[in-house]
Amino acid sequence: MNISPSPSSLSQPLELARALIRKPSITPRDEGALDVLQAALTTLGFECHRLVFNDDGAPAIDNLYARLGKAAPHFCFAGHTDVVPVGSGWTTEPFNADVIDGYIYGRGASDMKSAIAAFVAAAARFTTDVPAFKGSISFLITGDEEGDAINGTTKVLNWLKARGEKIDVCVVGEPTSQTKLGDMAKIGRRGSLTAKLVVYGTQGHSAYPHLADNPIPRLMTMLGALIAKPLDNGSAHFQASTLAITTIDVGNAASNVIPGAARAAFNIRFNDHHTGAKLKTWLKETLDAAADGGHYDLDVRISGESFLTPPGALSELVSNAVKDVTGRTPELSTTGGTSDARFIKNMCPVVEIGMVGLTMHKADERCAIADIDSLAAIYRRMLERYFATS
């Protein structure tokens, strides 16, 4: 893509999407993706800030905050240019951004570089049609959503607070659509807790188990206690919380040796019946009882609490824009994994709406070119409705 694109070219999102996909910005590397985006936004008159944050134990991350206008109300588009590793099984080159039979292929096509291009196209169309709109439009784009999420969106939000900047509403471009563009929007997300459990025993000969202390049965008992009954039955806007055991590992290649330790990991996706702190307490109490005095270590990482933007003005804005363009009304959901919306909700109401996610993180990740243009039209309609009513 031309390093100095014209405003008219930016109103059509395909080439910008291809230019972004061609940058192999696998977390935590940027590889020039934000340069492409900054050039586009500078052309549209946005004031751009490149924000690189460092934290001990986490890689340095390049972020972009760009704003057009200084007045309220302030509408923010948020997302990420980082992508997950390529993996195997591709029939196209992952960073070529090939266009085949009406689809654009490449890592990030669905999650979520095409949505970022649609953000830009929407801003280009709206500011061309309504150059004197009253308010501000901004972009908060990180390079750390697929990674540790330490030096990305949270740090940018802290930077904004330090500057006294306030965001009134935010739309995140995660690939929320299920099978058709706009069939689902996310008004919240479940919390996520990941735990690593190590149960200790005493190594010994399998023919003399009385001289050893086998940690495997104890580990099985402890895990059984965790999954013995459901955490809850769901709530008004959330499905039931889940606990998934993701690995059990002894690392023992010998059939005649009782190991000295056994390990497991599990992930809890929890709804608004719980907090991470309360679940951590429940885990300790449950495991203590099941361990029956045995020694174990538990390492817990809470990567996000559950949150909800209650149905209201913002979800109506999103739903109406989707209906205007596609004729369908999105389901307002809280399913799926986590996203950086979990941080943004601390500043303002946030809703997620983006591309069809059927191929995200897969080989031959792709999206329909027609959907990119339709998504740009949806985002543009949001801006029109928002600033008209504001």
CATH classification of the domain holding 375: 3.40.630.10
Q: Is pLDDT above 60 for 168? A: yes
Q: What residue numbers bound the domain in which 251 lies? A: 191-304
Looking at the structure, tell me whether residues 226 and 161 fall in a common domain: no
Helix axes 33-43, 114-129, angle to 10 degrees: 10
- Specify burial of residue 190 (Cβ count, 10 A radius: 0-12, 13-18, 19+): buried
Q: Is pLDDT above 70 for 297? A: yes
Looking at the structure, tell me whether residues 181 and 211 fall in a common domain: no
Polymer length in residues for the chain: 390
Residue 277 lies in a domain: yes
Positive or negative, the CA dihedral 5, 10, 12, 13 is: positive
Residue 366 lies in a domain: yes
Looking at the structure, tell me whether residues 136 and 37 fall in a common domain: yes
Give the domain-ending residue among 304, 332, 357. 304
* Phi-psi category of residue 178: left, alpha or beta, with phi > 0 → left and psi -120 to 50 → alpha: alpha
15 assigned to active site? no
- Specify burial of residue 189 (Cβ count, 10 A radius: 0-12, 13-18, 19+): buried
Looking at the structure, tell me whether residues 15 and 81 fall in a common domain: yes
Cα separation, 221 vs 228, in Å, equals: 10
Which position among 31, 62, 111, 145 bears the catalytic label? 145
Looking at the structure, tell me whether residues 137 and 16 fall in a common domain: yes
Q: Read off the pLDDT of residues 240-296 as tens digits, 9 standing for 90 and up.
A: 999 999 999 999 999 999 999 999 999 999 999 999 999 999 999 999 999 999 999
Helix axes 114-129, 14-21, angle to 10 degrees: 140
Q: Is pLDDT above 90 for 8? A: no
Looking at the structure, tell me whether residues 184 and 328 fall in a common domain: yes
Looking at the structure, tell me whether residues 151 and 219 fall in a common domain: no
The predicted pLDDT at position 374 comes to 98
Q: Read off the pLDDT of residues 62-92 as tens digits, 9 standing for 90 and up.
A: 999 999 999 999 999 999 999 999 999 999 9
**Six-digit token string for 304:** 């996000």
Looking at the structure, tell me whether residues 155 and 74 fall in a common domain: yes
Closest among 335, 316, 343, 325 to 379, alpha carbons compared: 325
Which position among 30, 82, 174, 272 bears the catalytic label? 82
Question: In this structure, are residues 130 and 137 in contact, taking their beta carbons and an 8 Å threshold?
Answer: no
- Specify burial of residue 203 (Cβ count, 10 A radius: 0-12, 13-18, 19+): middle
Residue 2 lies in a domain: no
Q: How many Å from the N-terminal Cα to the C-terminal Cα in the chain?
A: 35
Looking at the structure, tell me whether residues 238 and 251 fall in a common domain: yes
Looking at the structure, tell me whether residues 279 and 327 fall in a common domain: no
The predicted pLDDT at position 4 comes to 62
Residue 290 lies in a domain: yes
| Amino acid (one-letter) located at 45 | G
Q: Is pLDDT above 70 for 3? A: no
Looking at the structure, tell me whether residues 264 and 131 fall in a common domain: no
Q: How many domains does the chain have?
A: 2
Among 251-255, 329-333, 335-339, which is the least confidently predicted range? 335-339
Looking at the structure, tell me whether residues 88 and 41 fall in a common domain: yes
Name the band, by pLDDT with cuts 50, 70 and 90, for residue 337. Answer: confident
Question: In this structure, are residues 340 and 269 in contact, taking their beta carbons and an 8 Å threshold?
Answer: no
| CATH code of residue 230 | 3.30.70.360
Give the domain-ending residue among 279, 304, 329. 304
123 phi, psi to nearest 5 deg: -65, -40
Strands 169-172 and 261-270: unpaired
DSSP-derived secondary structure for 312-363? SHHHHHHHHHHHHHHS---EEE--S---THHHHTTTS-EEE--SB-TTTTST
288 assigned to active site? no
Give the domain-ending residue among 304, 335, 356. 304
Cα separation, 73 vs 67, in Å, equals: 12
**In percent, how much of the chain has pLDDT > 70?**
99
Q: Read off the pLDDT of residues 178-229 as tens digits, 9 standing for 90 and up.
A: 999 999 999 999 999 999 999 999 999 999 999 999 999 999 999 999 999 9
